[in-house]
């Protein structure tokens, strides 16, 4: 490599600049007693330390500052050599022009990807709530342009038909309805939890499951084809009850309305998702059955995305799954703090909850961190997916007549992002 004197002779216009540096002591960036210096008389660079200089070839191998200075001199001298990939303090990439103009072009970081998300207004969506609160979506380059809360999975499933919702944290059974009945192209890319439903009763009217068969007992439940409706059918199958006989005494209501009806004496039992079940229990009622009792291994909710998002932006889906896994791990490691975050997210004050009728009922019920902590303890938060368990749910829901067509779990699930 040519020394500074030869460079100066080759490019006369830089000779004076090099002479001005002669004998100058410049901070080396290594230690106070070691300074970089240039001597045009000696024709080499070196470190000045205790009156001695180190050879140039050794310095070039070990000192990044020397390499940077040499690159700068070469660009100025040659004009047509490109030096790339110099990172600025802002994180942008700085490159010189190959056309010899000497211009410096800053390449900005990639813009955040806009993403519309919908969730169920329960602690089923705890991973989404935690990730939003912690800023982890933004950490992965995802800009949440809309974040919609739905009290029931049925209402959320309907929202998936809109183009602005690209991902959702949704109960499994409504997911099946979206695919088989609405024909919306979505895939399940991660789980969020197992279980998460409960049958809460007035202990003065219902002591055991068999009491549900008594003609005077009124039962609250969500709409046909929802998860708790499917669980009620399963409960009847396992306990010798006729779901047809129960139907005439079932009052179809959204979860918060059921809790209020139970409190007001309008029904004797309510079958609802968590956190509503634990909230009702906290009002003095009895948790008669949980999802674990009725259907061991039940897949509760899942993360679904539109198929076109997978096709066009797989890296976005990968980031979304990574955020969900990170939040799930954090929830399991920090249950008390997670309960506080989720309780705050489940406050009906100051946020839009859909549909409005359900939101009005929810606003009458107080959600505390203590209630949420107890509720979340009844869920198993996990991002994993069990193909056989999910196929079992599909087959049972199809037998009940809630699905227009059969679904192969292998075609519904895309576990490749979990495996990355």
pLDDT mean values, one per 10 residues, the chain (420 residues): 42 41 39 36 37 38 40 39 35 37 49 96 98 98 96 89 92 96 96 98 97 97 97 97 95 97 98 98 98 98 98 98 98 98 87 87 95 98 98 98 97 94
Q: What is the pLDDT of residue 349?
A: 65
Per DSSP (E only), the strands in 152-209 are 167-171, 186-195, 197-201
- The answer to whether 367 and 343 have CB atoms below 8 angstroms apart is yes
- The answer to whether 63 and 30 have CB atoms below 8 angstroms apart is yes
Token pair recorded at residue 89? 């303090």
- Provide the b/e sequence for 350-359 (b: ≥16 CB within 10 Å): eeebbeeebb
Token pair recorded at residue 158? 């309907």
Q: What is the pLDDT of residue 10?
A: 40
Q: What is the pLDDT of residue 377?
A: 98
d(CA 267, CA 348): 24
Q: What is the pLDDT of residue 248?
A: 94
Domains, the chain, ordered by start: 4-78 (no CATH), 112-420 (3.40.190.10)
- The answer to whether 251 and 267 have CB atoms below 8 angstroms apart is yes
Q: What is the pLDDT of residue 34?
A: 36
- Residue 306 neighbours by CB under 8 Å, 6+ apart: 160, 166, 167, 184, 185, 186
Check the CA dihedral 120-121-122-124 and report its sign. Answer: positive
Where is 274: in which H helix or E strand? none
Q: In what order do the strands lie in the sheet with 269-273?
A: 250-252, 219-221, 269-273, 197-201, 286-290
pTM of the shown model: 0.75
């Amino acid at each position: 490599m040519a020394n500074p004197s030869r460079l100066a002779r080759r490019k006369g216009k830089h000779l004076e600049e090099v002479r001005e540096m002669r004998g100058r002591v410049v901070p080396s960036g290594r230690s106070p007693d070691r300074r970089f210096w240039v001597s045009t008389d000696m024709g080499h660079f070196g470190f000045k330390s205790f009156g001695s200089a180190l050879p140039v070839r050794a310095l070039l191998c070990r000192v990044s500052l020397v390499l940077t200075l040499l690159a700068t001199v070469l660009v100025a001298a040659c004009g047509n050599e490109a030096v790339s990939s110099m990172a600025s303090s802002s994180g942008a990439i700085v490159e010189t022009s190959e056309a010899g103009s000497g211009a410096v072009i800053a390449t900005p970081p990639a813009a955040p990807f806009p993403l519309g998300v919908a969730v169920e207004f329960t602690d089923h969506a705890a991973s989404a709530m935690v990730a939003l609160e912690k800023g982890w979506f933004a950490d992965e380059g995802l800009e949440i342009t809309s974040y919609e809360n739905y009290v029931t999975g049925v209402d959320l499933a309907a929202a998936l038909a809109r183009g602005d919702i690209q991902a959702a944290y949704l109960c499994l059974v409504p997911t099946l309805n979206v695919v088989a009945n609405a024909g919306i192209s979505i895939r399940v890319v991660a789980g969020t939890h197992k279980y998460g439903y409960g049958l809460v009763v007035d202990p003065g009217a219902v002591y055991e499951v068999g009491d549900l068969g008594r003609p005077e007992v009124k039962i609250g439940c969500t709409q046909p084809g929802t998860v708790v409706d499917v669980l009620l059918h399963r409960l009847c199958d396992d306990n010798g009850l006729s779901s047809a006989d129960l139907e005439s005494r079932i009052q179809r209501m959204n979860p918060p309305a059921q809790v209020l009806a139970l409190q007001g004496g309008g029904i004797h039992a309510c079958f609802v998702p968590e956190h509503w079940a634990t909230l009702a229990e906290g009002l003095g009622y009895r948790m008669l059955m949980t999802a674990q009792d009725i259907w061991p291994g039940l897949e509760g909710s899942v993360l679904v995305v539109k198929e076109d998002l997978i096709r066009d932006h797989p890296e976005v889906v990968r980031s979304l799954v990574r955020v969900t896994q990170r939040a799930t791990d954090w929830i399991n490691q920090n249950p008390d703090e997670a309960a506080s975050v989720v309780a705050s997210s489940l406050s009906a004050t100051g946020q839009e909850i859909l549909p409005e009728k359900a939101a009005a009922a929810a606003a009458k019920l107080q959600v505390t961190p203590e209630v949420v902590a107890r509720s979340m303890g009844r869920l198993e938060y996990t991002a994993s997916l069990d193909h056989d368990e999910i196929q079992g749910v599909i087959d049972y829901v199809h037998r009940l007549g809630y699905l227009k067509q059969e679904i192969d779990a292998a075609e519904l699930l895309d576990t490749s992002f979990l495996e990355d």
